[in-house]
Amino acid sequence: MTTRIDTRFAALKKEGRAALVTFYMGGDPDPETSLKVIKALPKAGADLIEIGMAFTDPMADGPTIQAAGLRALSKGITLEKTLHLVREFRKDDNETPIILMGYFNPIFIYGVEKFLADAKSSGVDGLIVVDCPPEEDDELCKPALKAGLNFIRLATPTTDEKRLPKVLQNTSGFVYYVSIAGITGAARPDPQKVAASVARIKAHTTLPVTVGFGVRTAADAAEIAKTADGVVVGSALVEAVRQSLHADGRPTELTMGAVTSIVEDIAKGVRSVKK
């Protein structure tokens, strides 16, 4: 099984550069605007797109992404509507990989089998479900692999040498290294420690390794692109959107530009590093 994720990473390797992976909350600040943003991401320089599945209780997320999820929910986003965003995106773009990222409960309530079938047919390539560790692989990971979706696992600073093989066992697509012990959008990662961790993971797997949590600027991104196969940016984008909104949460004429300019900037950082 080769997914768009595999194809994209193979192409970038040939090109000799790291991937820019952008996270954006589905439905933020409203479903229409979020679709426009997601459609604009590849042109601005995103190589892969993670779309957040909004959840009321995102226990691994910092205030920025928590607030984005609540904004989206208040404008009526549901898991079904998030899948619809992907279908709409796929009408114009059949190459950029889409990864849905979120928490298990909305998927469990939607129905795992139905969700996987609908995600696949909507054009989703992979899943990152934060609260499904390897210990719960029978719940979602194995069924997702069977359905032809990549299941991308998080490895963290607390994932030691002994545990790493277990984390990598059913991982596919790429490995997402969480650069800090903490929540999204918190402290800045230390490039040296990140480099060592990426090397440690690469000793155990041939999968691409991307790094995220705390990446904010083109300089951060360039630093990480030296060692990792991809750089994930999330909170910085979501925060740029929030700052562009009206006080009542409606988008302004600045909203689209706020996202695209930051993605363009960080993409330059990523692309400045030749490998």
Is 61 labeled as catalytic in the residue annotation?
yes
Q: Is 136 in the site for other proteins (CB under 8 A)?
A: yes
- With binding defined as CB under 8 A, does residue 32 bind other proteins? no
Measured CA to CA, the distance from residue 136 to residue 191 in angstroms comes to: 31
Nearer to other proteins, 135 or 253 (CB): 135
Alpha-carbon distance of 114 to 144, in angstroms, equals 11
Buried b (16+ CB within 10 A) or exposed e, 171-185: bbbbbbbbbbebbbb
According to the binding rule CB under 8 A, does residue 178 interact with other proteins?
yes
Q: How far is the CB of 153 from other proteins (least distance, A)?
A: 7
Phi, psi of 54 (to 5 degrees): -60, 140
Residue 132 beta carbon to other proteins: minimum distance, rounded to whole angstroms = 7
> Should residue 155 be labelled a site residue for other proteins when binding is judged by CB under 8 A?
yes
Choose the stretch contacting other proteins; rule: CB under 8 A; options: 9-17, 26-34, 90-98, 182-190.
182-190
E strand or H helix that includes residue 231: strand 230-233
> What are residue 21's DSSP bridge partners?
48, 232
Residues 126, 97 contacting (CB under 8 angstroms): yes
Residue in the structure block whose two tokens are 């989703």: 124
Helix (H) or strand (E) holding 153: strand 153-155
Task: Please report, as residue ranges, which positions from 75 to 94 form the binding site for other proteins (by CB under 8 A).
Answer: 78-80
The answer to whether residue 50 is catalytic is yes
Single out the segment in contact with other proteins by CB under 8 A; choices: 10-18, 42-50, 178-186, 236-244.
178-186
Going 254 to 85 to 11 to 214, the CA torsion angle's sign is positive
Beta bridge pairs of residue 100: 51, 127
User: By rule CB under 8 A, what count of residues binds other proteins?
Assistant: 45
Closer residue to other proteins (CB): 70 or 256: 70
The token duo for 202 is 């690469």
- Between 92 and 135, name the residue whose CB sits nearer to other proteins: 135
d(CA 158, CA 160): 6
Q: Which residue among the candidates 6, 28, 47, 50 is catalytic per the annotation?
A: 50
Helix (H) or strand (E) holding 155: strand 153-155
Min. distance of Cβ 54 from other proteins in angstroms? 8
Q: Does 135 bind other proteins (CB under 8 A)?
A: yes
Enumerate binding residues for other proteins (CB under 8 A): 54-60, 62-63, 66, 70, 73, 78-80, 103-110, 130-136, 153-160, 163, 167, 178, 181-183, 186
Catalytic residues: 50, 61
